[in-house]
Structure 1
């Protein structure tokens, strides 16, 4: 059978599947499978070229075969990986000599290889061209030296890439047409600005994340108010940024404000602005967040912390678009898209009288629930790979490998702190791994011991000794919810007892109690007010 026939047999099924509604990840996986059928090797990858906001060139893995799962979460800066740079510069199929001294970007990532950096092996790759521009790379590695010797494999790879480029280009055009059906204006704006990587990356291929991404695409092009809910650390602000980046307002301002951090006396000034002399300390005119976000997006984080008085004033702005600076009689009109976020149950807050019902309904025209990390099956390793690559680049390391026991530990952990906890855990684990001595030139392997993850960290498992050691208060943690008590009510009871005990221990001195609880004083006072705590005294 000739080489041409083999190539056609491998690629024709891919061409036949183009009209089908296959996910992109599955298309790319089948492309790699076809490559491995034509040129058997031990590891293959398809990487997409991207341009960073600072002008740097990056390569993002779209599909892998024979590499560690966390590779999909990594993002390789071309300037830091000479082999990738050489492939892009060549513009055609290139095989590296087995004695090359260029470091291999996949050191520590080949699935069935462990120990020191990759031994002498065969490595080649080729640029995929779309519309005359580098679209990405196909790379192929064989651990057996000489596997790709001679001109035959290199010519075959070049021919495969020529045909694969047409397949990739066709798939890309079909995807663009499908997107234009839902959002023609967004697509036109996207290509006009030529900044495909400006939109924040919502990493993950789980069903929960795909559903969230579909919801974002659905509502982004509208001006509907969006209420983003989810646990602490799930990435609500990242979702808000993605909504803005995919909207018609993407080239306007995205203004964010943390409502929980605003002192009650400055809320109106921060939101609506003020003029000189409006209050003590107002030495000049100042724009508020609404004016700064005119024709753009205003993100209200922790919106459940806003006092009722402010909610009423915000409601008027949401209804009419009219704002009035403090100290100024004249009103002005603003055009702002509102996105709000909270980790609270705002419907329960309405029932409890902590939130106005009309304000809540204005905010939640289109609610989005961000799934917790434990509900995103398979995404943990992708996110870990992303954070590992960022950490590797920031620390100037040659390579990082996520060992098999570490992968198992990450998958088994409950992640009560969600993505934020995972990011901190990865950074901490790398620092722990750096303390271990290792032979010169050997890549750094991060193990389960470096992560030191405990089983599910839930409040009910905290004993009195650990609470006292962490917060300096005597407290007996509840062991179970009372009959008929919801989880949210049990957590509120837990918070109430802990805050009350801290206040009693420190003589109702707010500053001292806040320090003991690792909180800001103003946030502690808001929490105490929400929990209905009425201390006997209010000593400073």
Structure 2
């Protein structure tokens, strides 16, 4: 039998995958693996077009934070050029269009990309997204590769189409989420971020969200300050049957005691001094939707009793009115304190606690989420790149290690502020005229190494930098080695535990001298 040509051999597993039920991430990972076997390159990516943004679904050879970025097409002319053509495009090595992946090719930071090509994926006659290939050497790609990429794009589109169909009603759910977003915007709230992560702890959280979202159960979200409890509430609402109705948020810690009932239940004209008109409360605004009670532990015992009565009966009276209003509201509450402890301390009513915590849900701290810190950093890097008008904003390898080593007592909020502060300081240090920035561990200014004893001589800045890099490498090496030992040298299991892609784990191990 005549041997199959290499191109066909590489594509056959993808054809076989079309009939198999695979997790979306694994399906896309296999897709990029087949692409790199057809056209050798330093990095590849699959991105989905969502409105005006391109969102990375899978990357191979790019840094972990790339998965957390959302590329606004208008800010990246290469992406715009790829989307404007029906077929593949090969950019000349001397193209003056900036490459979105400059400095993001994992093993070669902070070098820029010199060869780039890509192709749009078209499904049902509409652009769905892009597949891109990048190389660090000029001239790596040839015009003959365009035909290979074109053929691959056709099969990739079929693979993506299968994944889309297997997700069922996701497009309808996204439409409903957009409608709910409109209600939130109409209420004057800022656009929401989306939850992002790949670690086991994060997957457990998303499983909980999927489990409870379709019900009307009252949810109590617990978690430390800054972990994103409001994002979780938004995700539950967006995935619920109430998604086309408003999500109304109340910060209970900011409610003055004498205005709690007015804020929650409304008032009529003349009910008290300053009540010049009738006013609906948060419960009425959230009718048939969701009411999010943030920092619910800060409600007084009297306010808890009043709220409990409405939760039990679904009926309320505006302050100063004898007329009852019936509301249908789902309650989602959040607290950074353990309400069971608050009950024992006499600061929370037991009946209120049991009513509010029908489905308790815990949001993991950032220090429990492994490599998710890099994915989230990518989101904040892209936001700050756009805000500061930069062509590129990335992390040096020592900065990535510093982010992984820090314990993040302030969680995601602290990470967001750290990235924003570091980018601004680095740009200011360069006179505000830099085109691209690479943040180092020194820019992040995180206390990841122990303080030297008082009797030790003052180290030079050069020695400190070298010591920090060595300490960070030792820390990262110990994490990987412990995980490999715990998982009996099973690289796939270790990668899952660390929240890393297996290929990225192997690259990090090779850089640190850990034997495979």
Report the TM-score when normalising by structure 1.
0.78
Q: Larger deviation: 420-429 or 310-319? A: 310-319
Deviations 1:289-331 (A, max 9, x none): 0011111110000001111111111111111100000100010
Shift of 1:67: 1.3
Match of 1:315 in 2: 308
C-alpha contact 1:228 1:367 (8 A) present in aligned 2: yes
C-alpha contact 1:116 1:442 (8 A) present in aligned 2: no
Distance 1:195 1:334, change over 3 A: closer
Distance 1:306 1:19, change over 3 A: farther
> What secondary structure does 1:136 align onto?
strand
Tell me the distance in 1 between the aligned counterparts of 2:230 and 2:432.
42
> What secondary structure does 2:167 align onto?
helix
Q: Which structure has the larger Rg over C-alpha atoms?
A: 1
> What secondary structure does 1:435 align onto?
helix
Tell me the distance in 2 between the aligned counterparts of 1:396 and 1:331.
54
Equivalent of residue 155 in structure 2, options 163, 186, 191? 163
Structure 2 segments unaligned to the other structure (5+ residues): 182-191, 451-516
C-alpha contact 2:426 2:439 (8 A) present in aligned 1: yes
Does 1:9 pair with 2:1? no
Does 1:286 pair with 2:286? no
Distance 1:89 1:382, change over 3 A: same
Match of 2:464 in 1: none
Q: Give me the CA root mean square deviation.
A: 2.4
Deviations 1:60-89 (A, max 9, x none): 111111212111111100000000000001
Tell me the distance in 2 between the aligned counterparts of 1:134 and 1:58.
12
Q: Larger deviation: 189-198 or 75-84? A: 189-198
Tell me the distance in 2 between the aligned counterparts of 1:16 and 1:269.
62
C-alpha contact 2:427 2:433 (8 A) present in aligned 1: no
Equivalent of residue 80 in structure 1, options 75, 81, 93? 75
Match of 1:369 in 2: 362
Shift of 1:272: 0.5
Does 1:175 pair with 2:162? no
Distance 1:47 1:197, change over 3 A: farther
Match of 1:515 in 2: none
Distance 1:322 1:330, change over 3 A: same
Match of 2:28 in 1: 28
Any residues of structure 2 matched to 1:47-66 within 5 Å, and which? 47-51=47-51, 57-66=52-61
Tell me the distance in 2 between the aligned counterparts of 1:372 and 1:238.
14
Shift of 1:435: 2.9
Tell me the distance in 2 between the aligned counterparts of 1:195 and 1:284.
32
Shift of 1:146: 2.1
Shift of 1:8: 3.2
C-alpha contact 1:117 1:443 (8 A) present in aligned 2: no
Equivalent of residue 237 in structure 1, options 211, 226, 230? 230
Shift of 1:28: 1.2
Distance 1:122 1:287, change over 3 A: same
Q: Larger deviation: 226-235 or 279-288? A: 279-288
Distance 1:387 1:21, change over 3 A: same
Does 1:145 pair with 2:128? no
> What secondary structure does 1:228 align onto?
strand
Tell me the distance in 1 between the aligned counterparts of 2:325 and 2:259.
20
Shift of 1:220: 0.8
Tell me the distance in 2 between the aligned counterparts of 1:380 and 1:424.
13
Shift of 1:128: 1.0
C-alpha contact 1:200 1:242 (8 A) present in aligned 2: no
Distance 1:287 1:78, change over 3 A: same
Any residues of structure 2 matched to 1:72-471 within 5 Å, and which? 72-115=67-110, 117-118=112-113, 121-150=114-143, 152-176=144-168, 189-190=172-173, 193=176, 195=178, 200-437=193-430, 443-455=436-448
Shift of 1:129: 1.4
Deviations 1:205-250 (A, max 9, x none): 0011111111111111111110000000000000001111111111
C-alpha contact 1:47 1:63 (8 A) present in aligned 2: yes
Distance 1:117 1:167, change over 3 A: closer
Tell me the distance in 2 between the aligned counterparts of 1:253 and 1:193.
11
Distance 1:237 1:84, change over 3 A: same
> What secondary structure does 2:133 align onto?
strand
Match of 1:41 in 2: 41
